[in-house]
Amino acid sequence: MRDFQPNTIIEPFRIRSVEPLRFTTFEERDQALRRAGYNPFLLHADEVLIDLLTDSGTGAMSSRQWAGMIASDESYAGATSFYKFEAAVRDITGFKHVLPTHQGRAAEHILFTTIARPSHVIPNNTHFDTTRAHVEHAGAEAVDLVIDAGHHPRLIHPFKGNMDLDALASVIRETGPDRIPAIMLTVTNNSGGGQPVSMANIRAVSDLAHRHGIPFFLDACRFAENAWFIKTREPGYADKAPLDIAREMFSYADGCTMSAKKDGMANIGGFLALNDDALAAQCRGLEILTEGFPTYGGMAGYDLEAIAQGLYEALDPHYLHYRIRSIAYLGDKLVAAGVPIVQPTGGHAVYLDAREMLPHIPPLQYPGWALNNALYLLGGVRGVEIGTVMFGLRPDGSEGPAAMDLVRLAFPRRVYTQSHVDYLVEVILEVYARRERLPGYRIVWQSPTLRHFTARLEPLSES
Ligand code: F0G
């Protein structure tokens, strides 16, 4: 007998603890959506059947993670759980100083409060919302420099999250290195469709930064998914383990911010890790003020245990193969049916192109919002609009279209199975078939900042 290679990629786990789904009728969802001011953020989670609002903190933990949590050390200072966490982060990232934080944005807060000042500029491929907000809160300017391919939803490119190196060189020249306290790369590029950054690009950005004496940081939330894309798409990496690829990615950087709610496989947590002794000492001072003593930083000992284990599980090749394939599986079915999506599919989500799908709804009548609400009404599916409701309100109170009107369907890690995805395909195709009849929306109430979280809307016509 010879070995054989099956083609079916299976979920690399079996399920020992289950959480029932709650089914609702169309009428119940219609009522729920009205009550929520047609804003899916204001739904109760048990009114949602398949919840793809985010992949952040929504994953399932493994039996090994739970075992670690039970055995955690909850000492205020010097807990063994901290040293386990620190050892795991150091082993994977190679960074000398590890500062735990309660989630990713807390690491951003500590870093940018410490290094950024008014008149400073921080380049990134694309800043995530909270990263941009912390840069701006420190008075600095956040500049997005993703390559041009990153702006075209249908253009196929293996590393659409790459930084535009010429644009970065120009920004350094025009701004002057003294006013650039850090250059950042977000891996994968969440706001740009979950698209990866190549090792060559990470290395080139690092070289450029260091030639000008500028520190280089990774926003590493989805570092393991990025490592898998490098393994499968970049020449020379096919035979390398994701752990080694991740180590190489981090080796070019001086530090990173991390939300462990993504590739930390945990429900909460994060860290700031870096090599510079003086900067680490400054950051620790602020950490004590805002997060807690540096051996727990806003987390319980059991959270530190979950992350110490989760970081390695995220790098398991069987897990990553299944993870990236399950997103592509949905994307392939949608593309085959003609549904416009951001291509190629990214690491953690499928992004539907609502502006393309709903040309009868102008951006200021929020096609992404309309599409997301239709997915909920017809199938109990909740995604998130990444479009004009989220980005269209300017600081002066005026409104304009966002660059794109997308709906992100982000997959919690190890939570849904293939039949959930098949169901999802059916729902999306049904909405697609009815697309010409979907109504636009108008906002009836909004807050002046981050309006999408709390806005109340109504459909422009009942369908
Ligand atoms: N950076 C990136 C690239 C992110 O995607 C997120 C969170 C953060 C930083 C902040 O981390 O939530 O732990 O404070 N993204 C979530 C999402 C919220 O839905 O994409 P956090």
Pocket test for ligand 1, best of 56, 124, 218, 408 (most atoms within 8 A of CB): 56
* Verdict on whether the full-model pTM lies above 0.85: yes
CA angle 345, 424, 386 (to 5 degrees): 55
Ligand 1 pocket, residue 56 CB under 6 Å: yes
Domain count, the chain: 2
Examine residue 13 and state whether it is found in any structural domain, yes or no: no
pLDDT digits (tens, 9 = 90+) for 58-82: 999 999 999 999 999 999 999 999 9
Examine residue 10 and state whether it is found in any structural domain, yes or no: no
Instruction: Determine the distance separating the centroid of ligand 1 and the alpha carbon of 102, expressed in angstroms.
Output: 12
Give the CATH number for residue 206.
3.40.640.10
Ligand 1 pocket, residue 218 CB under 6 Å: no
Are both 329 and 287 inside the same structural domain?
Answer: no
State the average pLDDT for the chain. Answer: 97
Are both 88 and 36 inside the same structural domain?
Answer: no
Q: Give the pLDDT confidence score for residue 461 in this predicted structure.
A: 83
Q: Give the pLDDT confidence score for residue 463 in this predicted structure.
A: 53
Instruction: Determine the distance separating the centroid of ligand 1 and the alpha carbon of 310, expressed in angstroms.
Output: 17
Domain hosting 366: range is 26-55+316-459
Are both 254 and 374 inside the same structural domain?
Answer: no
Q: Which of 273, 290, 313 is the last residue of a domain?
A: 313
Examine residue 72 and state whether it is found in any structural domain, yes or no: yes
Are both 338 and 304 inside the same structural domain?
Answer: no
Ligand 1 pocket, residue 330 CB under 6 Å: no
pLDDT digits (tens, 9 = 90+) for 207-253: 999 999 999 999 999 999 999 999 999 999 999 999 999 999 999 99
pLDDT digits (tens, 9 = 90+) for 303-346: 999 999 999 999 999 999 999 999 999 999 999 999 999 999 99
Task: Give residue 462's pLDDT band: very low, low, confident or very high (50, 70, 90).
Answer: low
Examine residue 11 and state whether it is found in any structural domain, yes or no: no
Ligand 1 pocket, residue 103 CB under 6 Å: yes
Q: Are 375 and 368 in contact (CB under 8 A)?
A: no
Q: Which of 313, 332, 354 is the last residue of a domain?
A: 313
Examine residue 284 and state whether it is found in any structural domain, yes or no: yes
Examine residue 9 and state whether it is found in any structural domain, yes or no: no
Examine residue 5 and state whether it is found in any structural domain, yes or no: no
Nearest-CA residue for ligand 1 atom 1 is 128
pLDDT digits (tens, 9 = 90+) for 171-196: 999 999 999 999 999 999 998 899 99
Give the CATH number for residue 416.
3.90.1150.10
Q: Are 411 and 348 in contact (CB under 8 A)?
A: yes
Edge-to-edge strand ranges of the sheet holding 349-353: 349-353, 406-410, 384-386
pLDDT digits (tens, 9 = 90+) for 129-179: 899 999 999 999 999 999 999 999 999 999 999 999 999 999 999 999 999
Ligand 1 pocket, residue 126 CB under 6 Å: no
Q: Give the pLDDT confidence score for residue 448 in this predicted structure.
A: 86
Are both 329 and 345 inside the same structural domain?
Answer: yes
Are both 299 and 347 inside the same structural domain?
Answer: no
Are both 292 and 417 inside the same structural domain?
Answer: no
Task: Please give the number of the atom of ligand 1 that sits closest to the Cα of 54.
Answer: 19
Examine residue 2 and state whether it is found in any structural domain, yes or no: no
Percent of the chain surpassing pLDDT 90: 95
Nearest-CA residue for ligand 1 atom 9 is 104
Q: Give the pLDDT confidence score for residue 357 in this predicted structure.
A: 98
Are both 186 and 262 inside the same structural domain?
Answer: yes
Are both 41 and 92 inside the same structural domain?
Answer: no
Instruction: Determine the distance separating the centroid of ligand 1 and the alpha carbon of 191, expressed in angstroms.
Output: 10
Are both 424 and 384 inside the same structural domain?
Answer: yes
Q: Are 175 and 209 in contact (CB under 8 A)?
A: no
Nearest-CA residue for ligand 1 atom 12 is 104
Q: Which of 313, 330, 361 is the last residue of a domain?
A: 313
Are both 150 and 176 inside the same structural domain?
Answer: yes
Ligand 1 pocket, residue 51 CB under 6 Å: no
Are both 253 and 291 inside the same structural domain?
Answer: yes
pLDDT digits (tens, 9 = 90+) for 247-305: 999 999 999 999 999 999 999 999 999 999 999 999 999 999 999 999 999 999 999 99
Give the closest residue to 402 by CA, choosing from 452, 448, 360: 452
